[in-house]
Amino acid sequence: MGGQILGERYEVEHQLGKKSGRWTLQARDLQTEDRVILKVLFLDDSLNATDLKLFKREAEALKLMNHEATPHYRGYFEMALPTHDQAMVLVQTYIEGVSLETCLAESKIFSQAETMAIAHSALSILDSLHNQEPIIIHRDLRPSNILLQPGLPVESAKIFLVDFGTVKALNSGNTAITMVGTDGYLPPEQAAGRVLAVSDLYSLGATLAECLTGLSPTQLQSKSMRIQFQDQAEMTPDFAQWLKQLVSPSIDRRWQSAREALTALEAIS
């Protein structure tokens, strides 16, 4: 597939991901020489309504987002397939970096200071997205979707949130009714089919717990639906309590906004 030209403009460099009916490709824009990401959705007999809805939703959300630490919309086109079916292609900016997932796979355990730095940057981005009109909710925050640029050390890296393939844009006061996300990082209300802005906070908290312990949320013990991470990592009581509130299974006991969580984090010395 490398070297193939799509849309008479984008030269495929390599494939980043492949699921049934969906491909994610890294490509080069022959007009600008920029690297881009191509999200390809096949319009064939295997296409289901949810995939089509999420594809269109991601395109619309990218058009709305203008944050420096998220991907941006670059274009859209359709193309014919050798099977005589069609494919829809979403073009977005490519963000180079190292994912937290990659760091964790290499047995990296993040210190409290490093984890706090990741949390601070991620919450700042979420605060911006959650205060847009309409609100942008990521819905699938996890280690693979948080990038460090250029990579380690954390102290000199910039944080990016990527892969908005499950994003939801809401009008003020509304909630989303869709079951998407990844086991372990999925808050109880989202598992039940309801998502709010604070649902992103839980997913971020589960990711931070993994950074501290090196264990995924599904590997950590749980008690009363609460992730038990405190005994698996070194941290101050103040930060442990802050993170405990971030991953509260109860919406009412969770931090009520990214801004509130960020303000509380900045108060921890």
**Cα–Cα separations (whole angstroms), residue 68 to 1, 95, 115, 184, 224:** 31, 10, 21, 28, 38
Q: What would the 3-class secondary structure string for 137-165 be?
A: ECCCCCHHHEEEECCCCHHHCEEEECCCC
Is the separation of the CB atoms in 259 and 127 below 8 Å? yes
**Which run of H or of E encompasses 237?**
helix 237-246
Q: Whole-angstrom Cα distance, residue 116 to residue 123?
A: 10
Q: Is the peptide bond before 143 cis (omega within 30 degrees of 0)?
A: no
Torsion of CA 50, 51, 53, 57, to 10 degrees: 130
200 as an active site residue: the answer is no
Strands 86-93 and 35-43: antiparallel
Q: How far apart are CA 49 and CA 62, in angstroms?
A: 20
Query: How far is the C-alpha of 216 from the C-alpha of 207, rounded, in Å?
Result: 8
Q: Kindly name the residue from 45, 127, 140, 163 that is annotated as catalytic.
A: 140
Catalytic positions, please?
140
